[in-house]
Structure 1
Amino acid sequence: MSKEESSPMSTESAASGLSKATLQTFANKTDEPSNILKADEYTKGLNQEHIKKLTQEAYKRFIDYTNAELKLTVDDCQLLEEMNKATKEKYTQINQMTQHLTKEMSKLQKSYNEFNHFIQQVEDIHEKSVQMERTAKALDEYSQYLEAKLVNLRPTTSTATSSPRKR
């Protein structure tokens, strides 16, 4: 008997139907140290390390991008807050100005109502003066008419009256 045939492993493997070549390959793999990688496994590990580094870099960039977006959002919110404050101040000023103008308009309306009687009297006097001017103008025209008529009548009457006196 050979050494392989007499070993207990060979009898078990023969019983299980495994070939000697399969058992030899298994024995060779178990004898190798576990930290030695074959070429395919090495490139696979490098790829995994490379992927891990890329993933970490992408994650870092994503964090940086998210932080930048959040900072911009915070800056925008602060700007809006400042704009709201400025708008509020402006509307407060406009409101105060409107209240002041309302008070002044009320005073003016009250003054107008107080002077309305006097204004009406002035308008009445103006209308009467315009009527007096028209009447004066009409009287002037009529007096000029009468004077012109009187002048036209005098020469005929003065000749008639002057002749008897000379006689």
Structure 2
Amino acid sequence: MKERVGSAGGSGEVPHMCTAPRRPVAGLWSLRRLRHGGHSGDITGPCQDMFSKMATYLMGEMTATSEDYKLLENMNKLTSLKYLEMKDIAVNISRNLKDLNQKYAALQPYLDQITLNEGQVAALEQAAYKLDAYSKKPEAKYKKLERR
């Protein structure tokens, strides 16, 4: 059976391409032309060797591409898992922040009372200093009178 060069016939196999095409392709030598052109060498062996090596090369390229896609798939899966972990962490942080805000809101009246007490303590402290200063004046006068 003679096949055209490059036709795979849909079988998925590498076709035997060392036979003459059904019709000559313009600009290419057909085996018939070589046979009748006086060339004595048989090119079937080198042709089969070339196509075998080409098939090996192409299989290597396809395998490498397939491995690249598998690597990308694994990387995508790992990235997806990392994003899920980060989402869980963000949800936990958000929940904890809400809890802290609620606790702060519950403590706010006490914090306001502390601020008010702090102001009152400062005013009381000033009153105590004034009272101390006032009490020193009569004491000094009394001591002065005692010495006379």
**TM-score (normalizing by structure 2):** 0.66
Aligned length: 112
Q: Distance in 2 between matches of 1:138 and 1:73?
A: 90
Give the match for residue 143 of structure 2. 151
The alignment yields a C-alpha RMSD, in angstroms, of 2.0
If asked which structure has higher relative contact order (CA below 8 Å, sep 6+), I would say: 2
Offset at 1:85? 1.0
Runs of 4+ in 1 over 3 A off after TM superposition: 51-55
Q: Distance in 2 between matches of 1:81 and 1:100?
A: 29
Q: Percent identity?
A: 25
Q: Distance in 2 between matches of 1:139 and 1:126?
A: 20
Q: Distance in 1 between matches of 2:138 and 2:85?
A: 73
Offset at 1:103? 1.5
Which residue among 76, 86, 96 is the counterpart of 1:84?
76
Q: Can you give the 5+ residue segments of structure 2 that lack an aligned partner in the other structure? A: 1-36
Q: Mark the structure with the bigger radius of gyration.
A: 1
Offset at 1:134? 2.3
- Residues 149 and 62 of structure 1: is their aligned pair in 2 closer, same or farther, counting only changes over 3 Å? farther
Q: Which has the higher helix share?
A: 1
Is residue 63 of structure 1 aligned with residue 60 of structure 2? no
The 5 A counterparts of 1:5-154 are 41=38, 44-46=39-41, 49=42, 51-154=43-146
Secondary structure at the residue paired with 2:59? helix
